[in-house]
Amino acid sequence: MATKWLNEIHFLGKLVKLEPMSLHHADGLALAVQDGKLWELWYTSAPKPDQVKSYIRTALAEFENDRSLPFVIKNALDDKVIGTTRFMNADAVNKRVEIGTTWYAKSVQRTGVNTECKYLLLQYAFEQLDCIAVEFRTHWHNFPSRNAIARLGAKQDGVLRNHQVDQWGCLRDTVVFSILNSEWSTVKQSLSFKMGMKY
């Protein structure tokens, strides 16, 4: 069996813990997605509560194929599930990965959780996986996500017009951002400053 590029790993920050996703997280994710009824935001990928188990099984299948490494995000203080994110569209040959399928319970949005999660994932991608680029993609109409990605220090590469057809039959334009390995030291310094921490 070939060696996988993406292997299970845990991350611990000051605000969050990231654990490899499994079916035992289903109840926690179902509660988290109800905080703000995230599935009602038509431009996001958050599942309905009754679809969470299927959502997890799909993510785990992608992990087995070395295309994805899904995480459950927990509050570091009380261990409560507050969201999910993943490495995805992994390309081990070309050392590229996307960070995406990210959503957070509404109560923790704009609290510093996203900044710390992205810091931990980017640090691993560039310093352990030796990535040459990390990509982010979001819906054209998801302006909060576009602004959050730009605040991380990612640059916009372009827009994929009519990229996908969503569940309502609408055509999605996808905005693509990236951070290059040559930019990581500056982005790392910026994120550390925003978090008020020295890692």
Q: Where are the domains of the chain?
A: 11-194
- Residue 24 CB-half CA count within 13 A: 2
pLDDT at 1 > cutoff 50: no
Would you state the pLDDT for residue 92?
96
Q: Considering the chain, what percentage of its residues have pLDDT values greater than 70?
A: 96
Q: pTM for this one?
A: 0.92
Would you state the pLDDT for residue 155?
97
Would you state the pLDDT for residue 2?
61
pLDDT at 43 > cutoff 90: no
187 contacts 179 by C-beta, under 8 angstroms: yes
Tokens of 12: 């611990």
E runs forming strands in the chain: 11-12, 16-20, 69-75, 81-91, 96-104, 133-139, 155-165, 171-180
Query: How many residues are listed for the chain in this entry?
Result: 199
The per-residue pLDDT for range 51-98, each reduced to its tens digit, is: 999 999 999 999 999 999 999 999 999 999 999 999 999 999 999 999
The per-residue pLDDT for range 107-139, each reduced to its tens digit, is: 998 788 999 999 999 999 999 999 999 999 999
Q: What does DSSP assign to residue 45? A: -
CATH tag, 11-194: 3.40.630.30
The closest alpha carbon to 49, from 109, 105, 130, 114, belongs to: 105
